[in-house]
Amino acid sequence: MTGRTDSAKPGLVFVYNARSGLFNALSDAAHKIFSPRTYQCNLCAITHSALGMRREWKQFLEGLGVPLEFLHADELRARDGAADVPLPAIFQRGDEGVEVLIDAESINACRTLDDLKRLILSSTLVNGGAGQ
């Protein structure tokens, strides 16, 4: 699920509140099917079905025009050392590393994919400084 980016160009890093690996992916898929209300990652719950990324979400991401990267909690901690950041979160990657752009509280307040898309479009990176 990790998509590498050109680190010289600022981009968005989406970090799921889930662990990487095949067993975890299968477990998460089952959890979404059998107990979706208790699933721990709202970013994943909104953007993915049990079968993979939602087509509408993929099209939205392609239209953002910025490099994108997707990580699981353990991957972020291993690469960027961000162990104390509540997840899910969306980070901005720049020359100095990553910084939180959209926090877990804001993502968890989203109830629909449209809510999440509006939140992202209001971010400073995507709108070139429009402010959140």
- Residue-level pLDDT at 20: 61
Of the candidates 123, 1, 106, 22, the one whose C-alpha atom is nearest the C-alpha of residue 65 is: 123
DSSP of 57-117, one letter per residue? HHHHHHTS-S-EEEEEHHHHHHHH--TTS-SSEEEEEETTEEEEEE-HHHHHH--SHHHHH
- Residue-level pLDDT at 3: 46
pTM for the full predicted model: 0.74
The pLDDT tens digits for 71-124 are: 988 888 777 666 688 999 999 988 888 889 999 999 999 999 999 999 999 986
Instruction: Tell me the C-alpha distance between 41 and 38, whole Å.
Output: 9
- Residue-level pLDDT at 116: 96
Instruction: Tell me the C-alpha distance between 44 and 75, whole Å.
Output: 15
The pLDDT tens digits for 1-60 are: 444 444 446 799 999 886 665 545 555 554 455 555 655 678 988 998 877 899 999 999
